[in-house]
Amino acid sequence: MTLVSPWMKLSVHFDANQITNQLDYSFTSCDGTADPRHGPYMGGVHFQKGQHVYFDVTCCGSKESGFSGFQIIDCCIISVPQLTQIGPKVPTVYAPPSPFLQAVGATYNLPLDFESQLLPQDPALPDLRRIRQEWKHTLDVGHANGRWELSFVITVRITRGEGEQPELRVFSFDPESSVGGSIAI
């Protein structure tokens, strides 16, 4: 019998000086042994029913650029339900609006309740300042089977040295996601 990982962690990362708006992201299981993006779910992420999803954001920036910190202004998960059943003489059925119990609809604004920490200096990158903010809550995966286009959008305020105006940036990612077994299409 395969045991379901009771939690998963979504980690997103961006550089204060990057020119793209794409977040680097990873999903990891609680025991660290399984990357939920492999196998039949390659290119997406497969959640387990009842799983708790933790979340953190890491920003880095060179000291030379004056990077001193960041503040999360807005943080939203967007899920677009996909077909779960279609065919002749059967009703067309879509997944619920979101795989997460906290979301009533397709969008869920994460409460801005984060704990911030300055990460230790990496000897290989002495000019890089890294700050992580961990969300103090979890998203809880529901019990309905389904597939969703999943997007994550975050707005941050990047601060630099004294006298510099803060910079507002928007970053995002959008993998496919699923919960449960096969879908009848």
pTM for this structure? 0.85
The pLDDT, as a whole number, for residue 16 is 96
The pLDDT, as a whole number, for residue 36 is 53
Residue 40 per-residue DSSP state: G
Mark the ranges of the chain whose per-residue pLDDT is less than 70: 1-5, 30-43, 181-185
Query: In the block, which residue shows the tokens 């230790």?
Result: 120
Residue ranges covered by each domain of the chain: 7-179
- Helix (H), strand (E) at residue 148: strand 146-159
The pLDDT, as a whole number, for residue 175 is 75
Spell out the CATH class of 7-179. mainly beta
The pLDDT, as a whole number, for residue 1 is 39
CA 48 remoteness from chain centre: 16
Spatial separation of the C-alpha atoms in residues 148 and 81, rounded to whole Å: 5
